[in-house]
A and B are shown apart, each in its own frame.
Chain A
Amino acid sequence: MKAINPAHVQAELDQLRGEPVYVHLETTNGAYASHREKGTLSAGAFIRNVQLTFEIGKIAGNGPYRIGLETDIGWLYAEGLTDWEKDEENRLLFAGHDHEGRLAAALELSRSPFPK
């Protein structure tokens, strides 16, 4: 992955407008967070292979970045994104890495389903 270039990302998001895409969306601070540090809440969520069609998709911020996708009945929002790539399968992969390189957030968009 490489550091996000918002102009390049915006161009890629524009290309996916109006067509169904599969989404992997995730946030995590790790299953061990509350074990390692008392008082910390282990919190996270992921959803994989939900399909949506967005009408407007934007990247915002000065880094770390935010991405918001508006659909006809709702929203997708991701915060803390630092790196991205368009992989060999033309999937858009975004990740937010903390200062130790650990993944804290992920947003991935693909025209075909992700492996389960």
Chain B
Amino acid sequence: MSAEPLLRVRDVHRSFRTGPTVVHALRGVSFDVAAGAMVALVGRSGSGKTTLLNVIGGLDRPDAGTVHVNGTDVAALDEDGLSRLRRETVSYVFQSFGLIPVLSAAENVAAPLRLARVAPAERERRVGLLLELVGLADHARQRPAELSGGQQQRVAIARALAASPRLLLADEPTGQLDAETGLSVMALLRGIVESEGVTVLVSTHDAVMMALADRVIRIHDGHLDEQAAGQPYEPVPDAR
């Protein structure tokens, strides 16, 4: 008997109406992700990757279907419940980092801990550990503008891990980075899965990232087309 998956997605539908046109972003998507796995979500632009991540994280609600994260039905939560979910269980890493420019790297990392009302001493300790983890202990007092793009994304990852989430959703985290920097960020994510036991669901176009993933889920016009981990992958042409 297998353990309860951390993430369970069942028959999720999501469509958007643009004037008279209805775009079906997700058409009955179903899959499970076990705790501590790193899953790559790949597909063309507009295939539904980001929509799927948003539905899982409670940033968007499905038209039909259910999403359970750590046993919690995300669609059934109200705004406060969703806030609590995002504060305690799910966190995000975005392509554009999303750091607060006037705060230092350490203060940015501490932001979720402040929201969780973590005591200052514990907050400082945790921030120190996380910056150490992402290799930025020497840059704790620097502001985002003083950091390179790769360093900013590392800070964003540290911030996402600050509240010890069970699930980390990363939406094309290497999209604004050069290949070398992107590789180091991906390696970092892989390492975090190993060391922190966090479950990571990352949308990407990057073949290297797919190679690092335990499992690759391909999404095409709202349908899933799952690949095995480590299987050679033909990059999807991107219109961007």
- Do A and B pair up? The answer is no
Residues of A within 8 A of B (CB): none
